[in-house]
Amino acid sequence: MRPAILAAALVLIACATPAAPSAPACNISAQDREWINGALSAWRFTANEITGVTGMRAFGAIFFDDDCVLASPNAFSAANVADVTWTATPHAGEVTLPGGAAMPAGVTSFAGADADRAFFVMSTPSVWRAAGVTNDALGLETMMIGVLLHEGSHVAQLDAYGARISAIETASHLPGDDINDDMIQNRFGGNAEFAASVERETELLFQITATRDDAEARRLAREALELMRARQARWYAGADGYLAAAEDTWLTLEGSGQWVAYQWMAHPAGGGAESDVAMADFARRGRWWSQKEGIALAFAVDRLAGFDWKLHAFGDGQMTLVEMLDAALATDG
């Protein structure tokens, strides 16, 4: 009889004891989870201390490593990182995006939005490291937080500058995939005169960060804008006239996104990098015109504007960085 009694007792215990919580379907490594939490803390820091971004639409987040996807509806909007909720799902080499599309599970970071939803997607440091991505001066994890801050900022900006982007799409008559932040470089990258002007404009704007003389800073800004407008007048003629607005818009989006990342990297309470290291190995690093000339424009506006330009760049989208620099130069300084 004792076995029967024992069996009955075990049944009663099982009925009386709450079921243990189910284990997650998969796990991301502790190192990658630590980076995710640190990156989301950096997002909250920049919103409070650098951009002042508030009231932006809620958007979901997807992070993934080689075999696991973490998804959250409030990773960027919860009051604290500890309040973020996650769902873990295994993957077999492809990650399913909001809306149902699938993408390869490789090195990536991007923001997307449509009328119904906005979302952010990024692979974890282990994926980037396995692909050979490095930044010896800043460290891979720090650089990747900068990338997250850049792309996360775009979610706010997609609403702010959405009407401008729609106008570019209408005017261009191009396939949707051809309308992006690198469309100018893709079109004119092989034009030596065009490329030389972009390089000179960019360098003049960067020189503004190196001078303490306000009059010289304004002179450099005027020279850069004159070169830009001469280049646009020459090459954006006729049916290509919309490219001037397209260039200004992408310079604004990419430049302000890079500026946020740089400011966090160089902040003592942020990334803690030396400003010259962050400048050389992030702000000036890379080959994309929209990011390099864009951040140089953002530095110039931040230096010369007598108004809170971030309210436009990350808020209402009423002005591009070029228009803001024009406004700054129109005042006595």
Q: What is the pLDDT of residues 75-115, one digit of tens each?
A: 999 999 999 999 999 999 999 998 889 999 999 999 887 66
Q: What are the C-alpha distances in Å from 102 to residues 91, 95, 97, 321?
A: 11, 5, 6, 35
Average pLDDT, the chain: 90
Q: What one-character-per-residue DSSP string does 19-36 give?
A: PPPPPPS----HHHHHHH
3-state SS class at 306: coil
State the pLDDT at residue 245.
95
CA triplet 88, 94, 98: central angle to 5 degrees? 65
Token pair for residue 185?
């470089």
What's the pTM? 0.89
What CA–CA distance (Å, rounded) separates 231 from 229? 5
The separation between CA 175 and the C-alpha centre of its own chain, rounded to angstroms, equals 23
| Whether the Cβ atoms of residue 61 and residue 39 lie closer than 8 Å to each other | no
Q: Is the pLDDT of residue 1 over 50?
A: no
- Min mean pLDDT across 8-12, 183-187, 327-331 is at 8-12
State the pLDDT at residue 106.
97
Task: Give 196-237 pLDDT, tens digit per residue.
Answer: 999 999 999 999 999 999 999 999 999 999 999 999 999 999
Residue in 116, 39, 113, 123 with CA at minimum distance from that of residue 76: 39
